[in-house]
């Protein structure tokens, strides 16, 4: 009887709008609270798997409407990645002195593959990744604002023509 009641409560919570706030609280918890290295490895593995699945769905979608939830999925994946970046940076800075695997096996393996035992190569790769991330974030923010403005204008057909006329008139 208890199991049926718990299942009913979970179903009733998922029907409402509690999924997003619970997810956001979990992501904030990942950023604020210290995480064990094993849990960080699990989340990194899930994030990499999610990225591959999103890529494959995008490649194999024949029409844009087959993956209409792409912006939402991309936002959730980006928020998860941001939370993982903050959590992994904290664990590397706090426990990195304990050894290569103190921050988790995924971070250790990625570092070994990326650096290859040469810190000069690691520094150059790190600089390249920083530049790429900076460009992606700035261009992405600009594109998000453009799309948001376009949707706002499309929602107001009469006002759009008035704005265009005012813009053309100077």
d(CA 143, CA 147): 6
Question: Is residue 43 helix, strand or coil?
Answer: helix
What confidence tens digit (pLDDT) does each residue in 103-151 have? Answer: 788 888 887 887 877 888 888 888 888 888 778 777 776 776 777 677 6
d(CA 136, CA 82): 14
pTM of the model: 0.65
> If you search the block for the tokens 């993956």, which residue do you land on?
67
What confidence tens digit (pLDDT) does each residue in 46-56 have? Answer: 999 988 998 89
What's the pLDDT band for 15 if we cut at 50, 70, 90? Answer: low
């Amino acid at each position: 009887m208890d199991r049926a009641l718990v299942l009913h409560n979970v179903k009733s919570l998922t029907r409402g709008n509690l999924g997003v706030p619970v997810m956001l609280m979990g992501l904030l918890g990942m950023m604020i609270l210290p995480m064990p290295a094993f849990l960080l490895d699990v989340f990194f593995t899930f994030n990499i798997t999610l990225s591959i699945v999103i890529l494959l769905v995008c490649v194999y979608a024949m029409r844009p409407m087959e993956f209409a939830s792409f912006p939402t999925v991309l936002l959730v994946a980006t928020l998860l990645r941001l939370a993982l970046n903050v959590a992994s940076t904290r664990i590397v800075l706090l426990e990195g002195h304990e050894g290569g695997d103190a921050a988790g096996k995924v971070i250790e393996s990625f570092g070994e593959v990326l650096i290859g035992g040469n810190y000069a190569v690691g520094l150059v790769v790190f600089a390249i990744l920083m530049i790429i991330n900076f460009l992606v974030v700035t261009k992405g923010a600009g594109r998000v604002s453009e799309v948001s403005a376009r949707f706002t204008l499309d929602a107001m057909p009469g006002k759009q023509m008035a704005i265009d006329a005012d813009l053309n008139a100077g």
